[in-house]
Amino acid sequence: MRGIGAYGLFYDPTFIILIPAMLLSLYAQSKVSSTFKKYSGYRNSRGYTGKDIAEMILRRSGIYDVRVEHVRGNLTDHYDPRKKVLKLSDSVYNSQSIAAVGVAAHECGHAIQHNTGYTFLKVRHAIYPIVNISSKLAMPIIILGLIASAFFLKLGIILFSAVVLFQLVTLPVEFNASSRAIGILESNAYLSYEEIVPAKKVLSAAALTYVAAAAASISSLLRLLLIAGRRND
């Protein structure tokens, strides 16, 4: 089976391994979009904006060196640990919706993780530089390996494994941030009991996208291992 070539990477029976993860990814994207849109239409009873919630949670958590800023786009919210900036998107920053409050609280969860030295976040930050390089080099080297040498194929798979590891480490980081967010919103009565349920739904839908990404990476790695195994037969 040494004549598989790069063509086999894209047109090969092992491609079927990717289908479940692809379907899960499509479902996850649809779910997070529809859930966020639905609860963006419900104003929270306290009248807090995403910015209000973020600032209150940060201060209550004893974090005074993190700025809350606006960033363009929809669901482009993120916490930048290098600059210590929590960025909230168009649909969250000035919005008083339940969805906006949930997302803002989730991003605060990441800031709290950073402040308290949450283990999995530290691991993710530590391996990010390696993963950043690996993600760019893995596929070209894998294609080279399919064309030229099994050595390059194995090297490409090792590099891609770093990407898979990053996706797996991301899962507890995201789950923990959501758990912190819901706990804070509930214990401080930033949302009413009835509003906590839809906030959980928004964050659960968002978490599913990370599960789908991890599943896609694992499926791709498994497929590459099968292709490499066939090449060595």
Q: Which two tokens stand for residue 125?
A: 């930050």
Alpha carbon of 39 to those of 15, 50, 59, 88, 205: distances in Å? Answer: 37, 13, 26, 17, 12
Q: Please identify which of the residues 107, 174, 194, 195 carries the catalytic annotation.
A: 107
- Burial, 198: exposed, middle or buried (Cβ in 10 Å; 0-12, 13-18, 19+)? buried
Distance (Å, rounded) from C-alpha 58 to C-alpha 85?
11
Question: Where would I find the beta strands (DSSP E) of the chain?
Answer: 67-70, 78-80, 85-88
3-state secondary structure of 168: helix
Distance (Å, rounded) from C-alpha 78 to C-alpha 84?
11
Amino acid identity at 160: F
Closest CA to 92 of 140, 37, 46: 37
Q: Which two tokens stand for residue 84?
A: 């210590």
Distance (Å, rounded) from C-alpha 83 to C-alpha 92?
20
What count of other Cβ atoms lies within 10 Å of the Cβ of residue 232? Answer: 11
For residue 55, indicate whether it is catalytic: no
Q: Which two tokens stand for residue 155?
A: 């090297």
Amino acid identity at 196: I
> What is the set of active-site residues?
107
